[in-house]
């Protein structure tokens, strides 16, 4: 129950809401030097996917100053705002690119005693999600209007509480962001080493090696290196299963990895999590993830995206659905080497080229088995593993730590918003 000095208010009385501009798509560019456009497809559950951006010519940007986004701005997708993973909302973070707001997205800035940070967590709360969901459920084109956003009612705490609550939640966001940056740096470091050694062939001692024509996609290779078909060294290649009706209908159970989750080494999109019933999982004989398994998405828009999870994964048990291959090699190379090989530009190009002009892009098991796997000398493979495996283990640790932080934050947020946790001095206490 909220404290007595809280008052029930209408969101529209405490925010300035602006919707984006209908930029002419014929003038969009793919030039990162131009100004980034934030469209509905960029807005995800709590973050903006800048990798999917289009751009507006920088020479024409000044006349749209009203639609320029600033640090701290909260944005909500107005068309299809609710997807299976949750509400499509985000906020502009420090270091995000200069950006303009496109139509069908609402931008919120606080006023009249509403803290901007508290606004961010209010929009990200279950309370606001539960308000939006029935508005967009059961309609042919899910949509929420600016008026409907502004009609949301909530208990407004005093400003000091808002700021302290925002500070606490921001600490979690800061820790998660720092860990993610470290994770990205570690992964980038190993990717750089892999590229130098196994793509550019600038491995230790390469100066003393002569080259030969391998007759494969790798062309000239150093002596002692060979190319084999991946199928020759596989211990396991399989996909998972989906229960009758699909995985989306279950709210709990065993997580099932699909396209939405395959996001990189040690990374996992918890907001897009789907499940199979535990009874179904117990009967699965394929697609059960083990330590260091490499996962590759096998069809559709996410074709070729790879991931790998360490001991403990993001959860205790994990499986893949029918759109994901689980790949495990024998002892000729490590799973760590296999992951970075799958993640290399050469393999990506092979997969893309094999699916040019195909209505439904995809790779079958024969395609995967036929991929050319580069095998360097055992000594060099061992040297790579000595460097990479400890770093990858740290990546897994950071990924699991971030999950713990998110879980704690998700438990605290609704209680803070509802006034069931309050501040006494510098401490949190239950109401």
Q: Is 422 inside a domain boundary?
A: no
Which of 121, 156, 191 is the C-terminal boundary of a domain? 156
pLDDT at residue 429, rounded to an integer: 61
Handedness of CA 116, 120, 122, 123 (dihedral sign): positive
Same domain, 212 and 102: no
pLDDT at residue 349, rounded to an integer: 74
Same domain, 185 and 110: no
Same domain, 152 and 188: no
Same domain, 60 and 197: no
In the chain, what is the greatest distance between 2 CA atoms, to the nearest angstrom?
80
- pLDDT category at 335 given cuts 50, 70, 90 is very high
- Using alpha carbons, list the distances in angstroms from residue 90 to 39, 74, 108, 411: 12, 6, 11, 19
Q: For residues 350 and 358, what is the distance between their CA atoms, to the nearest angstrom?
A: 14
In this predicted structure, the answer to whether residue 3 has a pLDDT above a threshold of 50 is yes
Same domain, 104 and 219: no
Which of 156, 191, 207 is the C-terminal boundary of a domain? 156
Same domain, 317 and 382: yes
DSSP label of 341: H
The percent of residues above 70 in pLDDT, for the chain, comes to 92
Same domain, 149 and 190: no
pLDDT averaged over the chain? Answer: 88
Same domain, 255 and 313: yes
Q: For residues 61 and 63, what is the distance between their CA atoms, to the nearest angstrom?
A: 6
For the segment 196-213, the average pLDDT, to the nearest whole number, is 88
3-state DSSP call for residue 52?
A: helix
Q: Is 257 inside a domain boundary?
A: yes
- Using alpha carbons, list the distances in angstroms from residue 272 to 44, 84, 258, 391: 10, 7, 9, 27
CB 96 within 8 A of CB 48: yes
Q: How many domains does the chain have?
A: 2
Q: Which residue has the higher pLDDT, 1 or 313?
A: 313
Q: Is 415 inside a domain boundary?
A: no
Prediction pTM value: 0.81
Q: Which residue has the higher pLDDT, 97 or 304?
A: 97
CB 320 within 8 A of CB 295: yes
Same domain, 219 and 123: no
3-state DSSP call for residue 208?
A: helix
- pLDDT category at 332 given cuts 50, 70, 90 is confident
| Least confident among 87-96, 111-120, 211-220, 379-388 | 211-220
Q: State pLDDT tens for residues 407-424.
A: 898 888 888 887 777 666
First to last CA, the chain: 7
pLDDT at residue 1, rounded to an integer: 47
Q: State pLDDT tens for residues 218-259.
A: 778 888 999 999 999 999 999 998 887 666 556 678 888 887
Q: State pLDDT tens for residues 272-300.
A: 778 889 999 999 999 999 999 999 988 87
- pLDDT category at 262 given cuts 50, 70, 90 is confident
Q: Range of 17's domain?
A: 8-156
Question: Taking Cα atoms as reference points, which of 404, 362, 398 lies closest to residue 259?
Answer: 362
Handedness of CA 116, 118, 121, 122 (dihedral sign): negative
Angle formed at CA 291 by CA 280 and CA 329, multiple of 5 degrees: 100
Angle formed at CA 14 by CA 12 and CA 18, multiple of 5 degrees: 60
Query: Within 13 Å and on the Cβ side, how many CA atoms surround 60?
Result: 10
Q: Is 139 inside a domain boundary?
A: yes
Q: Is 406 inside a domain boundary?
A: no
Same domain, 245 and 390: yes
CATH number at residue 391: 3.90.220.20
Question: Taking Cα atoms as reference points, which of 92, 111, 127, 197 lies closest to residue 159?
Answer: 111
Same domain, 223 and 309: yes
Q: Is 52 inside a domain boundary?
A: yes
| Least confident among 195-199, 205-209, 378-382, 401-405 | 205-209
In this predicted structure, the answer to whether residue 431 has a pLDDT above a threshold of 70 is no
Q: Is 413 inside a domain boundary?
A: no
Q: Which residue has the higher pLDDT, 113 or 310?
A: 113
Same domain, 238 and 386: yes
Instruction: Tell me phi and psi for residue 148, to 5 degrees.
Output: -65, -40
CB 121 within 8 A of CB 416: yes
Q: Is 426 inside a domain boundary?
A: no
Task: Look up residue 21 and give its two tokens.
Answer: 């501009």
């Amino acid at each position: 129950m909220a404290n007595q000095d809280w008052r029930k208010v209408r969101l529209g009385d405490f925010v300035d809401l602006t919707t984006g501009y209908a930029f002419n798509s014929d003038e969009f560019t793919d030039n990162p030097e131009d100004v980034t456009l934030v469209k509905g497809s960029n807005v995800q559950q709590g973050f903006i996917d800048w990798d999917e951006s289009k751009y507006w010519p920088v020479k024409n940007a000044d006349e749209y100053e009203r639609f320029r986004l600033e640090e701290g701005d909260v944005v909500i997708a107005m068309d299809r705002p609710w997807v299976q993973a949750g509400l499509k909302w985000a906020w502009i973070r420090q270091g995000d690119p200069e950006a303009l707001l496109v139509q069908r997205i609402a931008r919120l800035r606080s006023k009249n005693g509403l803290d901007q940070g508290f606004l961010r967590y209010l929009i990200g709360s279950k309370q606001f999600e539960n308000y939006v969901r029935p508005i967009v459920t059961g309609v042919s084109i899910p949509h929420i209007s600016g008026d409907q956003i502004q009609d949301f009612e909530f208990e407004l705490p005093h400003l000091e509480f808002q700021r302290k609550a925002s500070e606490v939640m921001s600490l979690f966001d800061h820790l998660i962001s720092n860990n993610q940056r470290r994770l990205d740096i570690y992964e980038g470091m190993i990717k750089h080493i892999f590229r130098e050694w196994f793509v550019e062939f600038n491995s230790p001692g390469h100066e003393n090696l002569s080259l030969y024509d391998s007759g494969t996609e790798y062309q000239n290779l150093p002596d002692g290196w060979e190319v084999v078909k991946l199928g020759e060294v596989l211990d396991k290649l399989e996909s998972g299963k989906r229960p009758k009706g699909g995985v989306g209908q279950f709210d709990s159970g065993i997580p099932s990895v699909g396209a939405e989750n395959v996001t990189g080494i040690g990374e996992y999109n918890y907001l897009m999590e789907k499940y199979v019933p535990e009874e179904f999982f117990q009967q699965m004989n394929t697609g059960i993830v083990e330590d260091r398994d490499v996962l590759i998405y096998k069809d559709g828009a996410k074709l070729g995206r790879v991931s790998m999870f360490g001991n403990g994964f993001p959860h205790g048990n994990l499986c893949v659905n029918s759109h994901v291959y689980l790949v495990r090699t024998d002892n000729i190379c490590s799973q760590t080497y296999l992951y970075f090989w799958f993640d290399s530009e050469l393999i990506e190009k092979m997969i893309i080229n094999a699916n040019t002009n195909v209505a439904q892009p995809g790779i079958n098991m024969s395609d995967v088995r036929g991929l050319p796997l580069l095998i360097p000398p055992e000594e060099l493979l061992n040297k790579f593993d000595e460097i990479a495996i400890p770093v990858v283990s740290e990546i897994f640790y950071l990924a699991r730590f971030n999950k713990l932080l998110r879980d704690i934050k998700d438990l605290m947020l609704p209680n803070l918003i509802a006034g069931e946790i309050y501040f006494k001095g510098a401490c949190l206490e239950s109401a």
